[in-house]
Amino acid sequence: MHAQRLSDLRAELARLGLDGFIVPRADEHLGEYVPENAERLAWLTGFTGSAGMAVVLADKAAVFSDGRYVLQLAAQTDPALWERRHLIDEPPQGWLAANAEGRRIGYDPLLIGEEALGRFTEAGVTMVPVEQNPLDAVWKDRPDPPMAAAVPHPLERAGRSAEEKREEIGKILRAAKQDAAVVTDPASIAWLLNIRGTDVSFNPIALGFAIVHADAGVELFMAPQKLPPATRDWLGNAVSVQDRPALPGALRALKGKRVRVDAAGSPIWFAQALRAAGAQVVAGMDPCMLPKASKNAVEQQGTRNAHARDAVAVCRFLHWLETAAGNETEVSAAERLVAFRTEVKDFVGESFPAISGAGEDGAVIHYRATAETDRKMKHNETYLIDSGAQYLDGTTDITRTIWTGPEAAPNDIRDRFTRVLKGHIALAMAIFPQGVGGGHIDAFARNALWQVGLDYDHGTGHGVGSYLSVHEGPVSISRAARPIPIAAGMILSNEPGYYLPGSYGIRLENLLLVQPAELPNAVKPFLRFETLTFAPFDRRLIEPSLLGRAETDWLDTYHAKVWEVVGPHMPKGDRKWLQESCRKLEQM
Amino acid sequence: MHAQRLSDLRAELARLGLDGFIVPRADEHLGEYVPENAERLAWLTGFTGSAGMAVVLADKAAVFSDGRYVLQLAAQTDPALWERRHLIDEPPQGWLAANAEGRRIGYDPLLIGEEALGRFTEAGVTMVPVEQNPLDAVWKDRPDPPMAAAVPHPLERAGRSAEEKREEIGKILRAAKQDAAVVTDPASIAWLLNIRGTDVSFNPIALGFAIVHADAGVELFMAPQKLPPATRDWLGNAVSVQDRPALPGALRALKGKRVRVDAAGSPIWFAQALRAAGAQVVAGMDPCMLPKASKNAVEQQGTRNAHARDAVAVCRFLHWLETAAGNETEVSAAERLVAFRTEVKDFVGESFPAISGAGEDGAVIHYRATAETDRKMKHNETYLIDSGAQYLDGTTDITRTIWTGPEAAPNDIRDRFTRVLKGHIALAMAIFPQGVGGGHIDAFARNALWQVGLDYDHGTGHGVGSYLSVHEGPVSISRAARPIPIAAGMILSNEPGYYLPGSYGIRLENLLLVQPAELPNAVKPFLRFETLTFAPFDRRLIEPSLLGRAETDWLDTYHAKVWEVVGPHMPKGDRKWLQESCRKLEQM
């Protein structure tokens, strides 16, 4: 099947006079979750992971993915057809440089950003944009694009009217002397116009594009059938709606204008179309990104409420886990957590595919338990579960690592767990001046591990949306974070970890809300974090002697708050367990 | 006098058809310390500060400097001739945008880098390079360039032969597929060719330029009279020497070649000349920067030796200070420290102008005591001294803040001092993986201040040379640090501070040598710091209850090491004082 597809594509490339073609795992929005009709990489290669790329030449082909998908890539793709390569260590541009120097390699400009394309051009191949994706020409039964209805996100959840937001963006554009901005991220459109959708999994967005003008008017490009009358009314007269095919004409109409395009987040097709039309393309961040990242007071209270309700499901689940070892599997446990969440008011769905890893599976950082990998939870091992939910009033994301017992946890695992916890607490307690970015405080969360030569190979935190994407830009907490100041109202995850491959994994994650720090002697504005997530940390894995006084105080105060917030809402049968789990550390 | 100079310059600009001209405080190497013949800003405006720029239009003119020079700028320049402006808050490009939009503003391409020039171009003025600096045409008695002899830096101090270094740079260029690199930083040339000079103050460099070729050959552009026969022999046959006027021809000879130019550190004249000659300019860091920053074993031992000797002078000075209050001034104290250093073996001179600030003067971050500002050191106040020395085997830089007594220091000052000390210790104790840059660990030094809403408005650390510049790139420890990994062998300063304007200033600085961290369970290479500087911290300013166990242990261990290293070399009269100053904190 995949042999036929590959040979069909090669025939099409030959017809187009191309020496090769790249097939990234991407849709026209460069989004994390893509609709079925954009699953070109899976259709062509069989590989269904969430990150990857295929490169097809006339005589050879390779498929790339990153470290978390090594086994899956090998299992799902045919070695007779595909060289299997590491996306980061042996990137596609290097493979092309070695195998196709100077050749003409096609790409679909709707599926790659300007910065990513630049890396191919630098590799010494000639990158040729195609007007129509040749893969789509040979994918005969390609699904239709999703046509789910977009629905209003009401003011009592959004906190600010779309009109006010459009005015803010217009003002930003006028200040930058720009006439318009192209917005290709459906999450930005969802924020800007106060709408939500169900076109893709996990992220409540309606796929579409927008042009925002300096006068605060918006052209929305979205199939009319996705906008029922109530939603069309909700958008108002300052938002014009046209179907997707009208987009090229609308870009041509920007001739002579200064138009902002996000060089990292938008497909290069937009800059190319604008330049061809005689518009002046100005590289700049999607203007909705920063305003969207700083949640207003209504969104902040919504996310607090969502987290308090989510905590009931999570705490019931943690209690339920006490007897899971020997009876449950990674998959059944994750399903049980979804079942608890389904009982929570305003639950919409998971905010990402849960990571449910027992023992050595917990050491696989982006592990996903499937029917093939699923295994029973054993006694006397760690179990890591990273999960989240979308509620109408907020998005959650929490990770806990527990000890299944009944024996005591080994000292080395307790040492590592406590060091991860120290990092988590250091970040939660951080106070820092305005202007500081996520790259400047990342080390707080790593320090206790670094002191003994350990570390974790992922970022410490990512932005989180308000009933939107659980991975939201532009701010993150990591060594590679963009130099963008952390600002009040942002929601960031705090998730240090430690992973011993083949043995166990630890990750401890709460979400943080950035707040002004009220300090009596402050010489300038400072910020601090409010922890949004409420669930106890497993004290069977804590070594109290490794914690300093301030750390123990933080933990006791946190657990007291968990009991205060969650306790009253716990079913009777779970309440005592929670109270016990939230007692002071000294009382062990 | 300055009115005449300004009007002469204006006449010359009119003759050249220019609407204006910018006069940065810079020489052709964009160096921190410039020779007299490059003091154009001082000649034109009267302002002698180390950072600034003048902008001259036909009908108005402005002179800019930063916060540390506000008073000096006002005192030294004539308000009838010059608007006085803040270099950072009201930058020259903004002033030009407001006063000369669209006009033709001249600049000397030898005195500004590509990145700095870009900010003017963006401001909407037309920047016009001049072939000859019009100011030089009207500066009739302009001094000749310095012609000090360059001397060999012997192998027993340099640790690596120039041949080996040239081979390394050639290899770097070949790996980058570059044919040559232009090196405009005399410190890089000094490192590469193992020579030193005395052309400018504080920095033992010989001014010159070099072109390094991929075959490891070097063209050195330096006046032949600066190279006595011994030095010429030392350079060897692979280094050709030509006088400065041969430089344009040598650049023209690079037609068709790929040539690396440092866009931040080199005057834009080089890129312009190369492009005009038909060479391909590749922006890239001066290839000597990183190899120079990582000191070899001989340089490391040299700097240890230099610091141990310097410590004797510093400790004698600190003892001497005990009776200074009421008797000495900021200037006389700084002179006394130089006198102590003059007695030290292989002392060459100061490595920068000492900052000697009593009481409120200590709060001026880059304070320089002059005849006008000098004041007596009083009883019961702080005194901050930041100073350093050049020795043949290494460069030192140390800051201590002491309490003059005899009364006890107030609690608030002791609180602040101890928080600065906690930051200093946190950085000194840091352990971190390879790959981490100075922006990632800067917050360690600020955390204790941040917790109470305080901070300091300067970087935490800078690179230091090996008998070279006391401010050496490319690595620094600050929020704005370039994302360059800290590497073994680098020398960095550790100098957090706290400043209460109008009242007092605290800064505590040691130099650190980056070392591999030998950790038994490390999962990858980690680094740690070896403290190079030995002098006690004034315990009259320490509040022991604010220090944690690990911090107290660090301090006691450090003081024990100071006594061990410095004690045996202290004159008898100073020895007891040092021993007392190095006792354990608990014994107070």
Q: What is the DSSP letter of B376?
A: B
Strand A472-477 to strand A461-463: parallel, antiparallel, or no bridges (unpaired)? Answer: antiparallel
What is the nearest CA distance from A124 to chain B, expressed in angstroms?
13
B58 touching A (Cβ < 8 Å): no
CA dist A581 and A560 (Å) reads 10
A439 vs B431, B439, B526: nearest CB: B439
A519 vs B435, B453, B521: nearest CB: B453
pLDDT on residue B588: 47
Residue A182 gets the label, from left (phi > 0), alpha (psi -120 to 50) or beta, of: beta
A245 contact partners, CB below 8 Å, separation of at least 6: none
pLDDT on residue A194: 98
CB contact under 8 A, B450 and A526: yes
User: What is the rounded average pLDDT of the residues B446-450?
Assistant: 98
A444 touching B (Cβ < 8 Å): yes
Sequence letter at residue A32: E
- If one counts every other C-beta atom within 10 angstroms of the C-beta of residue A501, the result is 11
pLDDT on residue A366: 85
Only one residue has tokens 């969104």, namely A299
Q: pLDDT band for position B316 (50/70/90)?
A: very high
- CB contact at 8 A, A533 and A562: no
Best A177, A440, A519 member to test B by mutation, with max B CBs in 10 Å, is: A440
Q: How does DSSP assign B310-328, residue by residue?
A: HHHHHHHHHHHHTTTTTT-
Residues in A touching B432 (Cβ below 8 Å): 443, 446, 450
CA dist B585 and A225 (Å) reads 76
User: What is the rounded average pLDDT of the residues B413-440?
Assistant: 98
CA dist A396 and A519 (Å) reads 29
Rounded to the nearest angstrom, the gap between the alpha carbon of residue B54 and the centroid of all alpha carbons in its chain is 22
A522 touching B (Cβ < 8 Å): yes
pLDDT on residue A72: 87
CB contact under 8 A, A521 and B454: yes
Tell me if ipTM is over 0.90. Answer: yes
What is the nearest CA distance from A565 to chain B, expressed in angstroms?
27
User: What is the rounded average pLDDT of the residues B211-240?
Assistant: 97
Q: Which residue in chain A has the smallest CA separation from B526?
A: A453
CB contact under 8 A, A452 and B519: yes
A452 touching B (Cβ < 8 Å): yes
Q: Is pLDDT above 80 for B393?
A: yes
CB contact under 8 A, B433 and A442: no
Reference A105, options A82, A133, A128; nearest CA is A128
Q: Which residue in chain B has the smallest CA separation from A442?
A: B440
Q: pLDDT tens, B343-359?
A: 999 999 999 999 999 99
What is the nearest CA distance from A363 to chain B, expressed in angstroms?
14
* Residues in chain A where the model's pLDDT stays below 50: 588
Best B431, B440, B482, B552 member to test A by mutation, with max A CBs in 10 Å, is: B440
A442 touching B (Cβ < 8 Å): yes
Q: Which residue in chain A has the smallest CA separation from B500?
A: A523
CA dist A354 and A335 (Å) reads 9
CB contact under 8 A, A431 and B450: yes
Residues in A touching B455 (Cβ below 8 Å): 433, 523-524
What is the nearest CA distance from B467 to chain A, expressed in angstroms?
31
B577 touching A (Cβ < 8 Å): no
Q: pLDDT band for position B124 (50/70/90)?
A: confident
Return residues 473-512 of B near A (CB < 8 Å).
479
Residues in B touching A440 (Cβ below 8 Å): 439-440, 442-443, 479
Ordered alpha helix ranges (H), A472-571 = 549-566
Ordered alpha helix ranges (H), A322-433 = 330-342, 411-428
CA dist B457 and B501 (Å) reads 12
Going across the sheet that includes A472-477, the strands are A431-433, A526-531, A510-517, A491-494, A461-463, A472-477
A450 touching B (Cβ < 8 Å): yes
CA dist A73 and A66 (Å) reads 9
Query: Is the peptide bond preceding residue A35 cis, with omega within 30 degrees of 0?
Result: no
pLDDT on residue A124: 84
CA dist A443 and A447 (Å) reads 6
Q: How many residues would you count in chain B?
A: 588
- CB contact at 8 A, A555 and A537: yes
Q: Which residue in chain B has the smallest CA separation from A438?
A: B440
CB contact under 8 A, B521 and A447: no
CA dist B126 and B138 (Å) reads 24
Strand A431-433 to strand A526-531: parallel, antiparallel, or no bridges (unpaired)? Answer: antiparallel
B433 touching A (Cβ < 8 Å): yes
- CB contact at 8 A, A487 and A434: yes
B444 vs A443, A521, A523: nearest CB: A443
Scored b (16 or more CB within 10 A) or e, B504-527 reads: bbbbbbbbbbbeebebeebbeebb
A453 vs B455, B526, B548: nearest CB: B526
Strand A239-242 to strand A218-221: parallel, antiparallel, or no bridges (unpaired)? Answer: parallel
Query: Is the peptide bond preceding residue A474 cis, with omega within 30 degrees of 0?
Result: yes
pTM over 0.90: yes
Strands (E), A146-265: 151-152, 180-183, 195-196, 209-213, 218-221, 239-242, 258-261
Quote the Cα angle for B188-B193-B199, to 5°.
65
Residues in A touching B520 (Cβ below 8 Å): 453
- If one counts every other C-beta atom within 10 angstroms of the C-beta of residue A378, the result is 12
B453 vs A455, A479, A526: nearest CB: A526
Reference A148, options A185, A186, A182, A108; nearest CA is A186
Handedness of CA A333, A338, A339, A345 (dihedral sign): positive
Q: State the angle between helix axes of B268-276 and B114-122 in degrees (0 to 180), rounded to the nearest 10.
A: 90
CA dist B171 and B42 (Å) reads 42
Q: Is pLDDT above 90 for B459?
A: yes
B479 vs A436, A455, A526: nearest CB: A436
Residues in B touching A443 (Cβ below 8 Å): 432, 436, 440-441, 443-444
